[in-house]
Amino acid sequence: MTVSGDSPTAPAGSLSPEAEAFVNSVGAATDLPAFVRNVRAIGSVAQNLDARVALLEDAIIQDVALTARILRIANSVALATAGPGASIESIKQAIMLLGYDRVQHLSMASSVFEKLEQDAPSVRDLMVESVLAANHGLQLALAVGYDRPEQAYLCALFRRLGEVVVACYRPRPYHTWLQHVLAGGSAHDGAEAAHFQFTFEEVGGALARRWGMPNGVVRTMRAFRGVSLEGDPLHAITQCSVDIARCLYGAVPAPRGVTVESIREQYAKAIGLDVQGMTECVAPALTEARPTLSSMQVDLEAWLAGHADSMAAARARQTDTQHGVFHAVPLVAQSPEDVEQEVLQGIRDRLAVYDHDTPREAQLREAVRQLVNHRQQETSGFSVGSVTDSTLRAACAAGYERGVLGISSEDFKLIRGRMGIGRGSTELARNFLLRPTPAFGPLGAALHLRSDLFIELTGADARLYGRDRLVKELAPSHFALLPLVLEAKLIGCLYFDSTMESVETTDTSRDLLCALRDQLVAAFARHRARTNDTAALTA
């Protein structure tokens, strides 16, 4: 029996903006463990196979849990191929039996999995479920005589990587999603797209490719559609193991009519093992999972008992719902600090480094990142004056010649220039005057509607905005107008312009300029909150 090689997969189709932002933020937050970087470097450091084996062995034995896992898998293979009495007692023997590439992939991928945080209960439960699925996949592979059982282990371990990292790095949205499913919402693969604007499958596959996981792992992250590749049962083994683990150990009760027996019958032919043979794989899978779970500080018996209680409560709730008794989903109260952290997390997603940034886009991205860091650390760099200065300077670095901050009057009926930067900015700030009303012209109408403007004065835009009294006076070739809105009130605006062909407006640069504006609004909000606190203390 043969299996497709571990050559790199072809690039995946383009991700949605939301998925790309999430993948970039998680990819940066979950940097590869030092062990993985070391193992990747071995191939370039030592061209001789014996030298590479020695270096790989030395890297592995420094990780006790990883050493135990590789030895267990190697001994399972030895038992299946050589019969009782066969024993693998060293990592070098394991490498000789399994092959250098196979042990390297197993080591790298397992280390990535263990890098994820386990603090959130949802993450821990998903990881336990994944370990149980992995060991079930290993036992199925051994039972059917598959020649690369460690691949089956890895594929089942990482089949739900996307969901694990979402639960890990977006705990509150994931908790809301899980409560929705427990309350009867759709739980089929892909249903999460409506909640997160991406699927677990697409972000899992993208991260697996980024982290250099074996091709088989990436390929089997896609749902199995009933057709094996060139007679290779790996995909069917993976999906079967994951479906059985979800049915037995998942956080949501299995849909009506879905049982472990029905899953086995569904996959028996594709795997090449009868239902009885599949049933016999469960006990050794649980036995093999215990040491790994113990290294995660998980007592399997206690976890299974707690899971059984959770499932009983969930099924009782479903029965009540069928009889017209509805239970309100408990709301998790969010403190202002929690809300702030969620906002900052969303901004960090948008700030993830993109390789295709132009130099100007990269400068803008870095300017926003610095402001977010000041905001999170509550430094003096997040004062209104500092953020205004940083924002205006970043806009000039993006190609605008000058910029101005306009502030609303106390009755919010007039916006006057307050602070400027760039060539002629002093005169611009002194003459900058807008009324946020359609009667004042196109710029006034945009402020009235709280609309962002990025305008190149050519064609129809020249005819529309060229008649605005302020535009006539300033005579720019490009300009941007960004309202500052706080608690539904227009507190001011940012205006940037250029009289030369120096502005390269892209969707990315516009989004980043808006992100700078958002930081300025946040700085105003923080200033107002502190001013109110001071007033309350002195009252």
Give the residue with greater pLDDT, 300 vs 504. 300
Is pLDDT of 410 > 80? yes
Task: State phi, psi for 227 to the nearest 5 degrees.
Answer: -120, 120
- In the predicted model, what is the mean pLDDT of residues 433-437? 92
Range with the lowest mean pLDDT among 34-48, 58-72, 73-87? 34-48
The H or E element containing residue 40 is helix 34-45
Q: How deeply is 243 buried, as exposed, middle or buried, from its count of CB atoms within 10 A (0-12, 13-18, 19+)?
A: buried
Instruction: Please report the DSSP string for 318-374 in residue order.
Output: HHHHHTT---PPPP----HHHHHHHHHHHHHHHHS--TT--HHHHHHHHHHHHHHHH
Whether the Cβ atoms of residue 415 and residue 537 lie closer than 8 Å to each other = no
Rounded CA-CA distance 447/450 in Å is 5
What length is written for the chain?
Answer: 539
Q: How many CB atoms lie within 10 A of CB 466?
A: 14
Is pLDDT of 243 > 90? yes
CA angle, 52 then 55 then 48, to 5°: 20
Rounded CA-CA distance 250/252 in Å is 5
Rounded CA-CA distance 111/36 in Å is 7
Q: Which of 220, 221, 245, 198 is nearest to 26 (CA)?
A: 198
8-state DSSP, 15 = P
The H or E element containing residue 454 is strand 453-456
Range with the lowest mean pLDDT among 107-111, 190-194, 518-522? 107-111
Q: Average per-residue pLDDT in the chain? A: 80
Tokens coding 290:
């215990």
Rounded CA-CA distance 390/371 in Å is 8
Give the residue with greater pLDDT, 34 vs 172. 172
pLDDT score of 191: 84
Is 117 in a helix, a strand, or coil?
coil
Is 484 in a helix, a strand, or coil?
strand
- In the predicted model, what is the mean pLDDT of residues 108-115? 63
Q: Which residues are registered as beta bridge partners of 492?
A: 407, 484
Is pLDDT of 11 > 50? no
Q: Which residues are registered as beta bridge partners of 455?
A: 479
Is pLDDT of 419 > 70? yes
- In the predicted model, what is the mean pLDDT of residues 156-172? 86
Is pLDDT of 397 > 60? yes
Percentage of residues of the chain with pLDDT beyond 70: 80
pLDDT score of 117: 55
Helix-helix angle 171-182:161-169, to 10 degrees? 120
Is pLDDT of 526 > 50? yes
Instruction: Please report the DSSP string for 475-523 in residue order.
Output: --SEEEEEEEEETTEEEEEEEEEESSS-----HHHHHHHHHHHHHHHHH
| Cα within 13 Å of Cα(247), Cβ side | 17
Instruction: Please report the DSSP string for 376-392 in residue order.
Output: HHT-GGGSHHHHHHHHH
- In the predicted model, what is the mean pLDDT of residues 152-161? 88
Whether the Cβ atoms of residue 277 and residue 143 lie closer than 8 Å to each other = yes
Range with the lowest mean pLDDT among 69-78, 113-122, 146-155, 210-219? 113-122
Give the residue with greater pLDDT, 353 vs 148. 148
